[in-house]
Amino acid sequence: MNRRNLVAGNWKMHGTTAELAEVTAISIAAETAGADVALCLPATLIERAVRAAPGFAVGGQDVHQAEKGAHTGCISAAMLLDAGARLTIVGHSERREGQGESDADVRAKAETALAAGLDVILCIGESDSVREAGRAVSTVSAQLDASLPGSIPAAERFSVAYEPIWAIGTGKVPSVDEIAEMHAALRDRLRSAFGEAGNGVRILYGGSVKASNAAEIFAVADVDGALVGGASLKAADFLPIVEAASARAE
Ligand code: PGA
């Protein structure tokens, strides 16, 4: 199964008008890249980014599971689409921890977003104490099972991002063997859930990906790209990662 790598940036709570030039620079390079490229931006920047970089894949960082209603401060799938977004992250560990989102919430968000027409990147990952206790694979596999949407419309519209919490923004990364072991286990879970389509779902790695470690991570079996936080904010940091992902033999 040929999977084209996907490199998605997650700008988190960074980015105002002044940073639109970075979006434009990234979008221009994305046109000729050998990998899919997307930026998940703060909601306030989505529409302006889409205008500044027509045709480029801009996404949100979260979506509410309800179509609409009394949910102060939240954003619906229809609103993201209306602003020009094509995709959204769901279940990032910063939302699971900071906003108390459960696996059931994440599953509902993924189902709502896919049904509305947004592509989805669903995040999972273990804490350092779970990793140290030797329970990383079983814990993350169970988290995936409980967070997965019931069905996916097309494999290329749904991706999973394995992001060890202890690796996010810390400069620490798992060994390539640890990444390989986890991604193989997640591939098995995706095949059990979706059959053959599970082979087409991209499994991204996330957590302190940067230009200097990207090629090594992308060489791991069943790593189909990356979700990148800090190193996605500047084109100069992000584009070498896109380049490393483009080098994958298709
Ligand atoms: P990081 O963040 O690349 O800054 O570690 C990754 C993420 O949280 O998606």
Residues 6-43: tens digit of each pLDDT: 999 999 999 999 999 999 999 999 999 999 999 999 99
Instruction: Kindly report, residue by residue over 181-215, the tens digit of the pLDDT.
Output: 999 999 999 999 999 999 999 999 999 999 999 99
Rounded Cα distance between 92 and 227, Å, is 10
39 pairs with which residues across the strands?
Answer: 9, 58
Confirm whether 71 is a catalytic residue. no
Confirm whether 47 is a catalytic residue. no
pLDDT of the residue at 143: 98
**Protein residue closest via CA to atom 1 of ligand 1:** 229
131: left (phi over 0), alpha (psi -120 to 50) or beta: alpha
Rounded Cα distance between 59 and 42, Å, is 9
Q: Which atom of ligand 1 is nearest to the CA of 94?
A: 8
Strands of 71-155, DSSP E = 87-90, 119-124
User: Is 10 touching ligand 1 by the criterion CB < 6 Å?
Assistant: yes
Ligand 1 geometric centre to CA of 239 (Å): 16
Instruction: Kindly report, residue by residue over 139-167, the tens digit of the pLDDT.
Output: 999 999 999 999 999 999 999 999 999 99
Rounded to two decimals, the pTM is 0.98
End-to-end CA distance of the chain: 10
What contacts 206, CB < 8 A, 6 or more positions away?
Answer: 10, 123, 125, 161, 162, 163, 167, 168, 226, 227, 228, 229
User: Is 91 touching ligand 1 by the criterion CB < 6 Å?
Assistant: no
In the set 64, 92, 111, 183, the catalytic residue is: 92
**Protein residue closest via CA to atom 3 of ligand 1:** 229
State which of 126, 227, 238 you would mutate to test the pocket of ligand 1, scoring each by most atoms of that ligand within 8 A of its C-beta. Answer: 227
Rounded Cα distance between 121 and 224, Å, is 12
**Protein residue closest via CA to atom 9 of ligand 1:** 229
Ligand 1 geometric centre to CA of 147 (Å): 20
Q: 225-228 and 6-10 as β-strands: parallel, antiparallel, unpaired?
A: parallel
Q: Calculate Rg over the CA atoms of the chain.
A: 17
Question: Do 143 and 124 form a contact (C-beta atoms < 8 A)?
Answer: yes
In the set 64, 111, 163, 183, the catalytic residue is: 163
For residue 108, give the nearest of 85, 141, 74 by alpha carbon. Answer: 74
Ligand 1 geometric centre to CA of 69 (Å): 31
Tell me the C-alpha to C-alpha distance, in Å, between residue 108 and each of 103, 112, 115.
9, 6, 11
Instruction: Kindly report, residue by residue over 102-133, the tens digit of the pLDDT.
Output: 999 999 999 999 999 999 999 999 999 999 99
**Protein residue closest via CA to atom 2 of ligand 1:** 229
